[in-house]
Structure 1
Amino acid sequence: MRMRWWAAPLAAVLAVILLPSSTATLSPAGINYEVVALMAIKTELQDPYNVLDNWDINSVDPCSWRMVTCSADGYVSALGLPSQSLSGKLSPGIGNLTRLQSVLLQNNAISGTIPASIGRLGMLQTLDMSDNQITGSIPSSIGDLKNLNYLKLNNNSLSGVLPDSLAAINGLALVDLSFNNLSGPLPKISSRTFNIVGNPMICGVKSGDNCSSVSMDPLSYPPDDLKTQPQQGIARSHRIAIICGVTVGSVAFATIIVSMLLWWRHRRNQQIFFDVNDQYDPEVCLGHLKRYAFKELRAATNNFNSKNILGEGGYGIVYKGFLRDGAIVAVKRLKDYNAVGGEVQFQTEVEVISLAVHRNLLRLIGFCTTENERLLVYPYMPNGSVASQLRELVNGKPALDWSRRKRIALGTARGLLYLHEQCDPKIIHRDVKASNVLLDEYFEAIVGDFGLAKLLDHRESHVTTAVRGTVGHIAPEYLSTGQSSEKTDVFGFGVLLVELITGQKALDFGRLANQKGGVLDWVKKLHQEKQLSMMVDKDLGSNYDRVELEEMVQVALLCTQYYPSHRPRMSEVIRMLEGDGLAEKWEASQNVDTPKSVSSELLPPKFMDFAADESSLGLEAMELSGPR
């Protein structure tokens, strides 16, 4: 069909009027080349859950599309589609998104080869296509990605020789090519971490090299002891020894100075703002994260004005912030910044958290670290938290109807599944509750605060000395020993299900019902008596699915069983919430001898101490962003 003579100029004019920030990507005919590129990607992918359903070829601005992030000047800067059950192939059209800084496609079923056009993404910093079904060789054009920091292609079926062009990339922080079918020889890759285990033709018996002990080299790879240069290897060891000696001495001296300063600050016992050195190395880049200056975040929050506080909890205070480019963010000012141990350690831990990217996890935008401050920057969530919305009414009806509550349960479960079973290294949340599950503009569940326990407790052993969490949500084994696991999060998720059903805080529910024992005892009693309607949020009235209610209660009780080994994994939880395998799991649980549900009679003395002084745990909701 021929375009009318006036259509193209009109489209261009409208695009300029309506979307001035995106005009850089428009052709004279009003066609957005990035829209065309994204639609080419969508066409080549199989999308069983329609996560790309709002990608529209008729749009001139993709910045509002799901899974797409744009920079301030209107260009697509990030494409995040991890763990979306996508299959098909990655279109060569991705090479036309020339301002991309981050591509996250991990944990899907994408096949085919890596398109050579990937080398046109000169600004790319993070490329993660791990845990897919990609075949073929790594294109030599990947060496053109001069700004690349993170390259994860592990757990695929890649073959062939590594391109020599990889050696031309400076500043690599992580290269993971493990568990493929790659072959040697290996180029000299400069990377803090380089992993090639699981490639039989490189690390197998036939190759003569055992990579299991040298797969992670903080300097470069291959190490000299895999070459025929023993003297260089010895010299290098001497250099490392000298560096380590100087470093240890410096760290010891710095530790003494810092300890004295902290003692002096404690003696002053004042809540003050420090004059900090805002000079920082602009070259520091942690994948797709931005490093902010302290004065920039201080200005964004109006000098951390109390009027901008979104929430306060055990980890710190969260402020609403307005950046210079107009973006609205949530700035978390950590309380226990000294526990992190130092700037390098803090950056390392932040790196780990930032690599956990999933549609149901709160994305870390950036960070700030100075001598006296540690801050994290997140996107602002306009609908606040589940806790803040559960009691809200809109035109006399609950803001969270039953269908939204069911979707929140599934979204939260998918986020926790990623942290437990798909994230490397895995992350245990340790404080799963309604106030830590945020809601985006579509009321999709976004799990926040994950990884912060690890970030702040990294020096502690597996049995921690300080239990972090909220009374009523903490698993009994965590309270008694301080030892957490994935099953600790499963317990918290079970309590979250109860909150979604009842619309009440876990602590308040039993009190309002005037029942002895804990909330879980009461839920179990109502289930046995087949009086589930008694526990449903009264604001819902009769507007809920009774079959789904029965299923959700059963899943909640399975998740909160006393012994961790009896609780399901999050992958099982998702299947049960979707109606698969719940009957069998429930029947099996009835044949297991366990103590009755966790109540005040069964909890260890440590719990009773906490229960007597709720304020000691900071029970108020810790909301990363959004209204109260």
Structure 2
Amino acid sequence: MASERYSSSYYTKQFFTLLLLFVFSFQHNTVECQGRLNEQNYSESGIAYPSSPSQDREDFRKIIVSIVLGGVTGFVGSVLFALIVRCFVQYLNRTPILKGPVIFSPKISPKTLQSALAKENHLLGSSLNGRCYRTVLDNGLTIAVKSLTTFESGSPEIRKKRVKREIQKELEVLASLRHRNLMSLRAYVREPDSFSLIYDYVAKGSLADAMNRAKESELPLDWDVRLRIAIGVVKGLQYLHSSCVPQILHYNLKPTNVMLDSEFEPRLSDYGLIKLLPNLNRATSPYTPPECFHNCSRYSDKSDIFSFGMILCVLLTGRDPGDGFFEEAEDGGSMGCWLRQLQQAGDAKEALDKSIIAREGDEDDMLMAVRVAAACLSDLPADRPSSDELVHMLTQLHSF
């Protein structure tokens, strides 16, 4: 971030400042030496007398020494001046560690938010990095609160302050994002060792909840709804990958982080929170791309595409990728291997969820979607389609 803070024009100004100070010092010392030489060549009566060759050589040495010393002095002074200016600019640009709630929505006030956070709240879920719960503000607005533990025990206080400033900058960026398929950050509250992120509450819950209810025949999910969910998820990724500068990666895409509104329109949550989740680098799941099992630094936009491919598989098959069924499957071991095996054998129809209510022509669309999912689950990131390509492929299916 430091490199972004200082533009090329800033360093250009510093260079010219150094140059001007150097020239000034050089010229000043040259004039001073010349004046001393003239004083020695003139008598008290104002009449100039020629100097001897030895005196000329001595005077010339003094001029050279004075010029060198003046140049060095000017250069050192210029460097010190530039460093002072740079430190001053850094101090002005430092992000202060904010206390209390930081609000991005006119519907939420700091007082009502702090009051709501102090109440007993309904727990929605928990993970390695924190918990999520629902609460109601005094004005009747229901919100979802994600409390994230951002520091490991024993972290030095100096490191905590630096990380807190970085987190605040990231949250300011995330709060500026607006897309129908993203959960918008409405506010956040800084705690001593954690951050509480405030989002809109969606009554339908997550995609994982919906798929579990569909498996128990409590919630019918026809192909139209499932395809709409898939397209909404990939459109959210497309916005993060293509419209955000710099590009934002999700890092943790899975059904529990896909929320559904009353119309089953998906909204991605937990996107861009890599700096807030210290345990995310160590957490692996069936949705983790193979290139990131041991090294999260290799994560790219194509890694998000792999996670989307797993979500598309869940929508098509109705199965959880962590199900032991895939370990027992012949030549399987994972949902992706199992799906590719069926596709190569021409039995992709066997992978489809039997509970899907399909209309005439939907089966062909679902089989095409199986091909799309298999491409997303390629072992090599370069072989996976981009989010732009996926939006085009999925919206061209019969239902849309």
TM-score, structure 2 normalization = 0.69
User: Which of these residues, 527, 532, 540, is aligned with residue 343 of structure 2?
Assistant: 527
Question: Structure 1: 5+ residue runs without aligned partners?
Answer: 1-191, 196-210, 255-278, 458-464, 581-628
Q: Deviations over 1:214-250 (max 9, x none)?
A: 38x9xxxx979899xx79x9978635435758999xx
Kept in 2, the 8 Å contact 1:430–1:469? The answer is: no
2:87 to 231, 234, 241: 241
Deviation at 1:412, TM superposition (A): 0.3
**Distance of aligned partners of 1:245 and 1:361 in 2 relative to their CA distance in 1, 3 Å threshold:** closer
Corresponding position of 2:57: none
Aligned to 1:311: 125
Question: Are 1:571 and 2:388 counterparts?
Answer: yes
Q: Percent identity?
A: 29
Matched, 1:333 2:147: yes
Q: Aligned partners of 1:413, 1:321: CA distance in 2, in Å?
A: 29
Deviations 1:425-450 (A, max 9, x none): 21111121111111012110111110
Distance in 1 between residues matched to 2:174 and 2:184, nearest whole Å: 9
Summarize the alignment of residues 157-176 of structure 1 with structure 2, pairs less than 5 Å apart.
none
Counterpart residue identity of residue 339, structure 2: V
Q: Secondary structure at the match of 1:508?
A: coil
Cα pair 1:409 1:497 within 8 Å, conserved? yes
Distance 1:434 1:246, change over 3 A: closer
Does residue 481 of structure 1 match 2:299? no
- Alpha carbons 1:320, 1:380 under 8 Å: kept: yes
**Match among 397, 404, 411 for residue 225 of structure 2:** 404
Q: Deviations over 1:317-367 (max 9, x none)?
A: 001011122110000111224688334322111012222221111100010
- What are the residue-to-residue correspondences of 1:89-104 with 2, within 5 Å? none
Displacement after TM superposition at 1:451 (Å)? 0.8
> Secondary structure of 2:144's partner?
strand
Instruction: Give the SS at the match of 1:576.
Output: helix
CA distance in structure 2 between the partners assigned to 1:558 and 1:550 by the alignment: 13
**Which structure has the larger Rg over C-alpha atoms?**
2
Q: Residue in 1 aligned with 2:321? A: 506
Counterpart check, 1:390 vs 2:204: no
Matching of residue 517 in structure 1 with residue 333 in structure 2: yes
> What is the distance in 2 between the residues matched to 1:573 and 1:416?
10
Q: Does the 8 A contact of 1:358 with 1:418 survive in 2?
A: yes
Note the residue ranges of structure 2 that are not aligned, 5 or more in a row: 22-78
Instruction: Give the partner amino acid of 1:577.
Output: L
Distance in 1 between residues matched to 2:342 and 2:93, nearest whole Å: 62
Q: Secondary structure at the match of 1:446?
A: strand
User: Which of residues 203, 214, 224 is equivalent to 2:9?
Assistant: 214
Distance 1:520 1:281 in 2: 46
Please, which moves more after superposition, 499-508 or 542-551? 542-551
Shift of 1:296: 5.0
* Structure 1 contact 368–374 (Cα < 8 Å) conserved: yes
**2:116 is the counterpart of 1:300:** yes
What is aligned with 1:547? 364
CA contact (8 A) 2:100 2:189 kept: no
Structure 1 residues 420-478: Cα deviation after superposition (integer angstroms, max 9, x where no partner): 11111211111211111110121101111101113335xxxxxxx96355421111110
Instruction: Give the whole-Å Cα distance in 1 for the aligned partners of 2:238 and 2:183.
Output: 14
In the superposition, the TM-score normalised over structure 1's length comes to 0.46
Task: Give how far 1:495 is off.
Answer: 0.6
Checking the alignment, whether the CA contact within 8 Å between 1:316 and 1:333 is kept in structure 2 is yes
What is the match of residue 30 of structure 2?
none
Relative distance call for 1:334 and 1:398 in structure 2 (3 A) is same
Q: Classify 1:431/1:341 alpha carbon distance in 2 versus 1 (closer, same or farther; 3 Å).
A: same
Show structure 1 runs of 4+ deviating over 4 A: 192-195, 222-227, 233-237, 242-248, 279-282, 287-293, 295-298, 337-340, 393-397, 511-516, 541-544
Q: 1:470 to 1:399 in 2, by over 3 A?
A: farther
- CA–CA distance in structure 2, aligned partners of residues 454 and 518 of structure 1: 29
Distance (Å, rounded) in 1 between the aligned partners of 2:93 and 2:115:
36
Q: Structure 1 residues 578 and 225 mapped into 2: Cα distance closer, same or farther (>3 Å)?
A: same
Partner of 2:170: 349
1-side partners of 2:318 and 2:119: how far apart? Answer: 36
State which of 281, 286, 291 in structure 2 corresponds to 1:472: 286
Q: Which position in structure 1 is the counterpart of 2:250?
A: 429
Matched to 2:285, the amino acid is V
